[in-house]
């Protein structure tokens, strides 16, 4: 029997960072649905939260899962569900790209706290500033395709 524990902090935003998720009630419903869908698809979604235009997920990958497949399953099904239930005024779309970084077991509690504190966090820092902070922290550069 295989034993795998690969933690990933996954972040993705709405198309053009539109503030589709503009109420705490809507976010709560969407996050609950994503959690239930992840359970059905055997995705270990440990933690989820976000703000008006993006979501943070803490995921533990299974032995046959990839980051891209997990992101696709979460994003595709949730956008379909949001649109099917007319939860936004216009058609809901996630941005194609996402941000993902591996997380050490020793950092899980701090990442969980960070994810749960998104509402307060974004009262002080915009999502754009957050992205810049991550880019600098991890030494990433923007690539032109």
Q: Domains of the chain (ranges plus CATH)? A: 6-138 (3.30.70.1290)
Which one, of 79, 6, 69, 1, lies nearest residue 41 by Cα?
Answer: 69
What would the pLDDT profile of 27-58 be if each residue is shown by its tens digit?
999 999 999 999 999 999 999 999 999 999 99
Which one, of 144, 145, 142, 134, lies nearest residue 10 by Cα?
Answer: 134
Question: What is the rounded average pLDDT of the residues 128-133?
Answer: 71
Residue 16 has pLDDT above 60, yes or no: yes
Question: What is the rounded average pLDDT of the residues 58-72?
Answer: 96
pTM equals: 0.84
CB 27 within 8 A of CB 21: yes
Residue 13 has pLDDT above 70, yes or no: yes
Question: What is the rounded average pLDDT of the residues 2-24?
Answer: 93
Residue 144 has pLDDT above 70, yes or no: no
Residue 133 has pLDDT above 80, yes or no: no
CB 56 within 8 A of CB 11: yes
């Amino acid at each position: 029997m295989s034993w795998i524990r690969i933690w990933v902090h996954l972040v993705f935003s709405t198309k053009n960072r539109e503030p589709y998720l503009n109420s705490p009630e809507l976010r709560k419903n969407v996050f609950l649905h994503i959690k239930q869908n992840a359970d059905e698809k055997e995705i270990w979604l440990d933690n989820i939260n976000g703000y008006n235009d993006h979501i943070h997920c803490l995921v533990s990958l299974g032995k046959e899962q990839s980051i891209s497949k997990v992101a696709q399953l979460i994003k595709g099904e949730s956008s379909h569900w949001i649109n099917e239930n007319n939860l936004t005024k216009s058609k809901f779309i996630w941005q194609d790209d996402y941000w993902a970084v591996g997380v050490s077991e020793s950092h899980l509690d701090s990442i969980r706290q960070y994810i749960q504190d998104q509402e307060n966090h974004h009262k002080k820092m915009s999502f754009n500033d957050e992205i810049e902070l991550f880019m600098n922290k991890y030494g990433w550069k923007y690539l032109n395709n």
